[in-house]
Amino acid sequence: MTNKLFLSLLLLGFSNLSYAEEASMSQVSIKAGKQQAQLKTNIGIFEENVEIIHGNREIYADRLEVHQREELGENKQLLVATGKPARFIEKQADGTLLSASAEEVRYDVANRLLTIKGKAEINQAGQVIKAEAIIYDIEKQLISAERNEQNQQRVHTILVPEKKSPKSNPEQGQ
């Protein structure tokens, strides 16, 4: 199998990254200083200033591994980005941006599960969570964060209150 054929297969895998986005996304832009393909294990490796843009999703990292295997489920991809930090950005259906950064960012495509470790931070709609490790089920909107056991640094959450529109305030107009 040639590297060109592997890249074509890899891009086909990226086209299945999200069910809802499937119709609107046809192009994947991958920029990196270096690319490798482990053909026996179906792993694509991109290194040196990696930038991937695919529809509403962007990944920036020092290194990105794209694993494609049957045991990973229907969409069969696991993306593992590492960096100082690696970043994952995705525009959500409601228009908000989900931004995650950490030393390691793992995205299980089939389960829409984001796992970030090492100085992890997630920001969505102004709400911020900082922890050593964060697991975010994007589909179910469930999040779990853990502190750093070595230095006992706790989970830090910053909540921003919603702004109310003037029409929703019952005291106005009296």
Picking from 101, 147, 96, 94, the residue whose alpha carbon sits closest to that of residue 122 is 101
- The number of distinct structural domains making up the chain is 1
86 found inside a domain: yes
149 found inside a domain: yes
Q: Quickly count: other Cβ atoms within 10 Å of residue 138's Cβ.
A: 18
Any idea what the CATH number is for the domain that residue 134 is in? 2.60.450.10
172 found inside a domain: no
173 found inside a domain: no
* Helix H or strand E encompassing 51: strand 43-54
Q: Cβ neighbours of residue 161 under 8 Å, at least 6 residues apart?
A: none
Q: Residue 145 sits in which domain range? A: 3-163
Percent of the chain surpassing pLDDT 90? 43
Residue 114 near residue 136, CB atoms below 8 Å: yes
pLDDT digits (tens, 9 = 90+) for 73-94: 555 788 999 999 999 999 988 8
174 found inside a domain: no
Q: How far apart are CA 106 and CA 75, in angstroms?
A: 15
- 113 or 150, which is more confident: 113
- 59 or 109, which is more confident: 59
85 found inside a domain: yes
Three-state DSSP at 16 gives coil
170 found inside a domain: no
pLDDT value for 64: 95
28 found inside a domain: yes
Supply the pTM of this predicted model: 0.74
pLDDT digits (tens, 9 = 90+) for 131-169: 999 999 988 989 999 887 777 788 888 888 876 666 655
pLDDT digits (tens, 9 = 90+) for 117-128: 999 999 988 899
Please determine, for residue 50, whether its predicted confidence score (pLDDT) is greater than 70. Answer: yes
pLDDT value for 77: 82
